[in-house]
Amino acid sequence: MQKPVIRPRRLRQSVAMRNQTREFAVHPSELILPVFVREGLDEAQEISSLPGVHQHTLESIRPVVNEAAELGVGGIMLFGVPAERDAIGSGATDPEGILNRGLRVVAEEAGDALTVQADLCLDEFTDHGHCGVLDVRGEVDNDATLERYDEMALAQAASGAQILGLSGMMDGQIASARAALDRAGFHDTVLLAYSAKYASAFYGPFREAVDSQLQGDRRTYQMDPANRREGLRETRLDIEEGADIVMVKPAMSYLDVLADTAAFSEVPVWAYQVSGEYAMIVAAAQNGWIDRDRAVAESIVSIRRAGADAVLTYFALEYARALRG
């Protein structure tokens, strides 16, 4: 038998050797924590399908922001859950609406320690649960929705949001919001485009988190999970329209799209480890089927390895604590 000359195992023989030759390492600043603030609560309320994740009050959100900052987490993406909804999502543009009030609280607590980010979409605020305004046929009216998005962009920027996450998948939303912000003098507000956002089954727990009123589905505007090239087309269009950052969502089932996007993008590429991806890991760990700590780390590292510069994840605080050791 001829003994092997090339021995890759040499680089795996000890903890120190493995650490020295590791290709990717995650830093807390590359993690972004999604947070829900809900109107009408007296105290934080755990979300049953997202164990460990809560809907917050304007007060209970403050220690979350402070812990995230202390751990070096990069940012907080805020979602609002209003007490009342209507057909056009009026609460989304009301300066005293729950999301805009929440943004002011987060901005006050965060200072310069982390970025204040806002979900810019109507689905949490409409009584039909769609991401846009409906026409007389009950279909989402793309261009009428852009007008509402522009109003949301101005309200969120005025409330202290530094990064606006346009997640509605309307055609032309980045160009329209950029023009509206620039006209109003918000030249420094960053636009995060949810460019390749798929009509995924993995959003299930999020629907509970925002008390979704969705009727039907979102397949006329979110992308078909079977389409890979289309994700690149959407991303290119958003970059051409002025997106400062682009996003792939979900992350773990779309690592091929994420890698494709990272290979050509001129701007930072982020990915969202969505609620269903979080819930699967938590549920399996609770049943003793997997090691939670290792699964959390492996899942986030895989998203970074595929090309994400930052990861939105409900594990952000937990993993940042683990990274601190």
Q: What is the pLDDT of residues 10-37, one digit of tens each?
A: 999 999 999 999 998 999 999 999 999 9
Per residue in 275-299, pLDDT tens?
Answer: 999 999 999 999 999 999 999 999 9
Ordered by start, the domain boundaries in the chain are 27-324
CA-to-CA distance for 325 and 13, rounded, in angstroms?
22
> Residue 29 in contact with residue 10, Cβ under 8 Å?
no
Shortest CA distance to 121 belongs to which of 106, 109, 107, 132? 132
- HSE-up (13 A, CA, CB side) for residue 49: 14
Active site residue 197: yes
Residue for token pair 């003098």? 185
Q: What is the DSSP letter of 313?
A: E
> Residue 35 in contact with residue 56, Cβ under 8 Å?
yes
Per residue in 201-213, pLDDT tens?
Answer: 999 888 888 888 8
List strand residue ranges (DSSP E) for the chain, in order: 31-38, 45-47, 50-56, 75-81, 115-120, 163-166, 190-197, 245-249, 269-273, 310-313
Q: How far is CA 246 from CA 116, 147, 199, 285, in A?
A: 17, 21, 17, 31
Q: pTM higher than 0.85, yes or no?
A: yes
Shortest CA distance to 121 belongs to which of 95, 91, 160? 91
Per residue in 95-142, pLDDT tens?
Answer: 999 999 999 999 999 999 999 999 999 999 999 989 999 999 999 999
| 27-324 belongs to CATH 3.20.20.70 | yes
Q: Which of 249, 277, 282, 299 is catalytic?
A: 249
Q: Which of 56, 197, 218, 304 is catalytic?
A: 197
Active site residue 3: no
